[in-house]
Amino acid sequence: MNFKNAAENLLIALIGVVFGCILTFFIITQSNKALSKQLTPIIEQAIAKETTAITNEFITEIKKLKSRGGSTVELNITPDIKNKAQTITTKDSLPEKKGFFKRLFGKKDKNK
C-alpha cells in the first residue's frame, strides 16, 4: 500500500463528504423556506382564531308539565356557543415557597 494513494483516496473521500454536506444543507434550507412560504397564510389564520376562552353555558327550557301516569319528560338542552376571547389574569394568593436552604437554615415562623 502506497502512502500517496491512501492520501489521495482520503482527500477524494473528504471532498465528496464536504460537497455532499453543503449540497444537502442548501437543499434542506430551500425546501424549508418554500414550505414556510406556503404555510404562512394557514399559520396566520390559526393565530387569528379565538381559541383562548371556552365557556360551558347551556340554555335550558323547562316548561310546566302536568303529571300523568307513566309519561316521560323530555328535557332539551342546547349549548350556547358564543366564544369570545377574554383574558382575565389574577395573581395567586399562595405565599411564595421557600427554597431548600431557607427551610433548613432560615428562621422559623412561630405563627404556623
pLDDT given for residue 29 in this prediction: 95
pLDDT given for residue 22 in this prediction: 96
pLDDT given for residue 69 in this prediction: 65
pLDDT given for residue 51 in this prediction: 60
- With residues binned 3-state (H G I as helix, E B as strand, rest as coil), the percentages for the chain, rounded to 5, are 45, 5, 50
pLDDT given for residue 4 in this prediction: 87
Using CA atoms, how far apart are residues 51 and 90, in angstroms rounded to an integer?
19
pLDDT given for residue 3 in this prediction: 84
pLDDT given for residue 46 in this prediction: 78
pLDDT given for residue 44 in this prediction: 84
Reference 86, options 45, 44, 57; nearest CA is 57
Using CA atoms, how far apart are residues 106 and 100, in angstroms rounded to an integer?
10
Reference 79, options 63, 60, 58; nearest CA is 58
Q: What is the pLDDT of residues 32-45, one digit of tens each?
A: 999 999 999 888 88
Please report, for the chain, the start and end positions of each structural domain, with discontinuous segments joined by +.
Answer: 1-65+74-81
pLDDT along the chain (112 residues), means of 10: 87 96 96 92 79 64 64 65 60 68 75 58
